[in-house]
Amino acid sequence: MRREPIELAAVATAAVPGLSPTAVSSAPDDPADFDSALLLDSEGKRWRVRSPRHAEASTRLETEFLVLRAFAPAIRAELPFLMPTVAGTVRQQNLSTFVYSHLNGSTRTVEELTAGSQELAKEIGTALAAIHDLPRALVSNADLPSYTPNEFRQRRLNELDMAATTGKIPPLLLRRWEHAMEDVSLWRFNPCVVHGDLHEDNLLVDEDRVTAVTGWTDLRIGDPADDLAWLVASNEHEFVEAVVRHYTEHRRDAPDSHLLRRAALSAEFALAQYLVKGIAAADAEMISEAEGMLATLADDIAEHGGQPISVEPLPSPAAPGSAAPDPASAGPVSVGPISVEPVSAELIAAPANTDVSEPMPAVHVMPIPADEDPTSNAPDAPAAGDVPDTVDADGSIDGDGSVDGQSGPDAEDHPDDAEAATQPTPLSADDTSTTAINIVDAKAP
């Protein structure tokens, strides 16, 4: 059952002792997996609450908590962006709800990002390079997944087999994807640390700066192309070229020549993964949406040819064994050191909207009366006098409201917060932006 923002505010007070919310609003998130809320406390500080809707989503949040613990202060200090900090957590009915200190910046749509300046492209490229240059021990020490190129290719083939059993994938796409996944030359890359769920909703931007990166639930060692899929799907070639150029300049290792081909494949295949997820959840709306996007993609490829994703030409279905007409006669398109052969004068990408989460309603702000006990609306909220559960540095649960040596609302991770706290920013019922998500002072440039 969906939790309303005011219920999440009550849970947050149990997770962070001393937290006194004065206003609460809904916050954009994946509605199939999480209920989220933005809180404003009596000191003017902002907090984000994420509550899982099912066991798998709860496991993802718990994994992210372990990932964030693995980022020692020395590693965080080297990053060109900030990362989330867990302020407290509480477990109810086998599901763990987390409260995060907010980070400065706001999310933007893909269209807004790709219409941005060259400085913003540089910031995104630099952030990607910093993630992919993280020490591999960070992943192995946290016992997170690690894949060789061939293991990763086989994993994709297994996922394709699963998608094919649904009977809902257009044959043209099955054939196209299978050919690319069996093209061994496409999968020669150096594995690195990968964010695994990087897209526009996990980038916080302030003007032309990437201030924070969130959503660390799928960190692994794998294919760096996965973190560029959302950009390649935008079909904004000049912006992608600028991002990859700066990405290449800041990487310790030069990217492989087929990085963008695999990124395009990942963007297309995300639609099949979304379909499988919808079927597993028995969500008719997700299934219908996925089928519609897959049909649109198949039609686009049938008409225009689609972005090149294979190194070897796809055999013509009319004459098995013969090569399909080579669209590369138009000449290669170079993106930094990476050369991609176009199918026409203008590449036709997968649908730009590869973020297949459901649209979120406008933000509604609900003040909490000072004389109202917010815990009265929260099921399973701790009784009066109980010690709230929080997670400490060793992963155990205690009642002091601290995590990894950080206090709750009075944490001194960012000294500038003390000054910001004296200037509370009220939430407006007319505010439908995501500016209020994840707000904490950004690092000085």
Structure-block tokens of residue 62: 């718990």
pLDDT of residue 167: 95
pLDDT of residue 369: 53
**Tens digit of each residue's pLDDT (9 = 90 or more) over 421-436:** 444 444 443 443 333 3
pLDDT of residue 35: 85
Indicate the DSSP class of residue 335. E
Pairwise CA distance, residues 371 & 392, whole Å = 31
Pairwise CA distance, residues 51 & 36, whole Å = 6
Q: Report yes or no: 152 and 191 within 8 Å, Cβ to Cβ.
A: yes
* Average confidence score pLDDT of the chain: 77
Q: Report yes or no: 106 and 433 within 8 Å, Cβ to Cβ.
A: yes
Mean pLDDT, rounded, for 151-175: 96
Does the structure show a pLDDT above 60 at 156?
yes
**Tens digit of each residue's pLDDT (9 = 90 or more) over 106-131:** 889 999 999 999 999 999 999 999 99
Does the structure show a pLDDT above 50 at 256?
yes
Binning pLDDT at 50, 70 and 90, where does residue 278 land?
A: very high
Pairwise CA distance, residues 123 & 203, whole Å = 11
**Tens digit of each residue's pLDDT (9 = 90 or more) over 372-415:** 444 444 444 444 344 344 444 444 444 444 434 444 444 444 44
The phi and psi torsions of 422 (rounded to 5 degrees) equal -80, -10
Dihedral angle sign, alpha carbons of residues 310, 267, 76, 405: negative
Binning pLDDT at 50, 70 and 90, where does residue 32 land?
A: confident
**Tens digit of each residue's pLDDT (9 = 90 or more) over 184-229:** 999 999 999 999 999 998 899 999 999 999 989 899 999 999 999 9
Q: Which amino acid is at 126?
A: T
Strands 46-52 and 95-101: antiparallel
Does the structure show a pLDDT above 90 at 102?
no
| CA atoms in the 13 A half-sphere facing the CB of 425 | 14
Does the structure show a pLDDT above 50 at 261?
yes
Alpha helix segments (H runs only) across 182-282: 229-232, 237-250, 259-280
Residue owning tokens 């709800």: 97
Nearest to 78 by CA among 13, 131, 15: 131
**Tens digit of each residue's pLDDT (9 = 90 or more) over 143-152:** 899 999 999 9
Q: Strands of 207-363 (E only): list them.
A: 209-213, 220-222, 333-335, 338-340
CA 348 vs. chain centroid, Å, equals 24
Q: Strands of 59-202 (E only): list them.
A: 85-92, 95-101, 192-194
Pairwise CA distance, residues 275 & 334, whole Å = 33
Does the structure show a pLDDT above 50 at 286?
yes
Structure-block tokens of residue 10: 């009550």
Q: Report yes or no: 211 and 82 within 8 Å, Cβ to Cβ.
A: yes
Binning pLDDT at 50, 70 and 90, where does residue 322 land?
A: very low
Structure-block tokens of residue 95: 């599901």
Binning pLDDT at 50, 70 and 90, where does residue 309 land?
A: very high
Question: Which helix (H) or strand (E) element contains residue 441?
Answer: none
SS3 content of the chain, % helix, strand, coil (to 5): 40, 15, 45
pLDDT of residue 106: 85
Does the structure show a pLDDT above 90 at 176?
yes
